Homo-oligomer: A and B are copies of this chain.
Amino acid sequence: MEPCFLTAAQAAAEMKAGRLTSETLIRSCLERIEARDPVVKAWLHVDRDHAIAQARELDKRPSMGPLHGLPFGVKDIMDTVDMPTTYNSPAWQGHRPTRDAACVGIVRHAGAVILGKTDTVEFAFNSRKAASSNPYNAAHTPGGSSSGSGAAVGDFQVQFAFGTQTAGSHIRPASFNGIYAIKPSWGTVSREGVHMISAILDTVGWYGRSVEDLILGALAFRLDGIDALAAPEPKGMRIGYCETPFWDQAEAGAKKAMAASIERLRKAGAIVEEIVLPAHFGDLAEAHTMIMYGEGRVALHDEYLRHGAGLHPELRLTVENGRGVTPRRLVEAFDLSDICRKEFDAIASRYDAVLAPASTGEAPRGLHTVGNWIFNGLWTLLHTPCVAIPAVHGELGLPVGIQLVGPRLSDARLLAVAQALQSVIDVNADERARILSAA
């Protein structure tokens, strides 16, 4: 098997055993990119020589940390000191920050090779779409705004990539691209040097190809309790499945993913019960929208003044408050989410994990859309950790995942549960590699 097809954890084990070098791994990823990027278009910047030089340097050194020698793609709303940072904005082409975003610095320090910058919706907010396509069908979106990151990890071009989530920009692309993702609890990963939309929503996460991969990232970020993961058994585990108040928007793909996951979990001996959230959780979608536009208006004000008519119309509309945000509605949205956050923690604490849809279904056709975030926005607003796991293939042959959700700041415990359940829920891992190795 070409090294680019390994999971990060497998590659790390191979390197540790002396059977693989970082340089070989990186060269394999670069070859895959070269072969596939004309179609998948995941990257805005890859510097082949610079990537190989980083890998060679790491091959000479003792291990720097859990990501030593492993490649990381960086969503292009994150500052990088050695690569351009454009936010996929026409106005910022060639922009060169003079320091790394904190999250980039942290994975570099843990030994990662920064492979390049991945395409994104402009400023990761409702505007110019990434050029990236879904690795399973180029006529379909990989989702967004973390479009290139999701597509690159899904297409076996890179083991890790950063995404961010303000509505559903991180977990939904994981579902669409057949990959794993963690959106950590709000506040556990620094957003310094990441272009902001909303202080209360924006969350940095990472993609991988197994829960073990996600754990390697969590070790680099030192998420609380990650050093002492207990390994629970699926048998007897209590899982609450939560269709959310937005289940009427579920398509065949989400229904299949949820039903299959529930069935597989029960077959593995887990106790699976339905969670019905209190009725006022149904107002979280509107609260989320109000906060995203209210905070987005502030966040984009400077870009609006800089770029004037050159700014994307949707971003201009946001700054001009075309969404009718008022102080009263904004405060009400904050207050409702505060209440629900506490209530959901109490509900989730009765279970080992909460199972929820990760997207409304398969990736929609067309690159003008990034899909519907309705099954993601509430968790972003509730600050919960979310772990996406691939579950099924839909009618169109595209992957669809689910997510496991936990109470705030239970990230390590949630990852341990996800690790125990990944082989129960994700039965198509080999199939995905087979399909895409032939692509």
Interface residues of A (CB under 8 A from B): 95-100, 102-103, 105-106, 109, 186-192, 195-196, 199-200, 221-222, 224-225, 294-295, 298-299, 301-302, 305-306, 326-327, 330-331, 334-335, 338-339, 341-342, 345, 408-410
Bound CA–CA A224/B297 (angstroms): 11
What residues on B are CB-neighbors of A302 within 8 Å? 100, 102-103, 105-106, 109, 190, 192
Q: How far is the CA of A106 from the CA of B298 in the complex (A)?
A: 11
Decide if B195 touches A195 in the complex (CB within 8 Å).
no
Contacts of A105 in B (CB 8 A): 302, 305-306
Chain B neighbourhood of A298, CB < 8 A: 187-190
Sorted nearest first, the 7 A-B pairs with minimum C-beta distance are A327-B409, A338-B338, A102-B302, A109-B305, A105-B302, A192-B196, A199-B199
Task: Tell me how far the C-beta of A93 lies from the nearest C-beta in chain B, rounded to whole angstroms.
Answer: 13
A to B CB contacts below 8 Å, 22 in the list: A95-B98, A95-B99, A97-B97, A100-B302, A102-B301, A103-B302, A105-B302, A109-B305, A187-B200, A187-B294, A187-B298, A188-B298, A190-B301, A190-B302, A192-B196, A192-B299, A222-B301, A224-B326, A225-B327, A327-B410, A331-B408, A331-B409
A330-B409 in contact (CB<8A): yes
Residue in B98, B326, B341 whose CB lies within 8 Å of A98 = B98
Q: Which B residues are in CB contact (< 8 Å) with A186?
A: 199
B327 touches A224 (CB 8 A): yes
How far, in angstroms, from A200 to B330 measured CA to CA in the complex? 16
Q: Which residue of B lies closest to A338 (CB)?
A: B338
Q: Are A301 and B200 in contact (CB under 8 A)?
A: no
A299, chain B: closest CB distance, angstroms: 5
A75 to B16, CA, bound (A): 47
Query: Complex Cα distance A188/B196, Å?
Result: 13
**Least distance between A215 CB and chain B CB atoms (Å):** 18
B331 touches A338 (CB 8 A): no
The CA of A199 and the CA of B195, in the complex, are separated in Å by: 14
Residues of B within 8 Å of A109, CB to CB, are: 302, 305-306
Other-chain residue from B103, B189, B195, B338 in contact with A192 (beta carbon distance below 8 A): B195
Bound-state CA distance A106–B303 (Å) is 9
Bound Cα distance A190, B99 (Å): 20
* Most chain B beta carbons < 10 A, residue from A96, A98, A187: A187
Contact B199 A106 (CB under 8 A): no
Most buried by B among A100, A190, A191, A330: A190
Q: Kindly list chain B residues whose C-beta atoms are within 8 Å of the C-beta of A326.
A: 224
In the assembled complex, the Cα of A263 lies from the Cα of B335 at a distance in Å of 36
Q: How far is the CB of A131 from chain B (nearest CB, A)?
A: 24
Interfacial chain B residues near A335, Cβ < 8 Å: 338, 341-342
Q: Are A106 and B301 in contact (CB under 8 A)?
A: yes
B327 with A338: CB separation less than 8 A = no
Min CB distance A266 to B, Å, is: 30
What's the least CB distance linking A273 to chain B, in Å?
24
Inter-chain contact B190/A305, CB cutoff 8 Å = no
- What is the CA–CA distance of A299 and B102 in the complex, to the nearest angstrom? 8
Query: What is the CA–CA distance of A301 and B103 in the complex, to the nearest angstrom?
Result: 9
CA distance A109 to B408 in the complex (A): 40
Residues of B within 8 A of A224 (CB): 326-327
Cα–Cα distance between A100 and B327 once the two chains are bound (Å):
28
Partner of A342, one of B97, B195, B225, B338: B338
Give bound CA distance, A290 to B196, whole Å.
Answer: 24
Known contacts A109-B305, A190-B299, A331-B408; 12 further A-B pairs (Cβ under 8 A): A97-B97, A97-B98, A102-B299, A102-B301, A103-B302, A105-B302, A105-B306, A106-B302, A187-B200, A190-B298, A192-B196, A192-B299
Chain B residue at minimum C-beta to C-beta distance from A202: B199
Q: Which residues of the other chain, B, contact A225 by a CB distance below 8 angstroms?
A: 327
Bound: A409/B332 CA distance, A: 12
**In the assembly, what is the distance between CA of A334 and CA of B339, in Å?**
11
List the B side residues contacting A196 at CB < 8 Å. Answer: 190-192
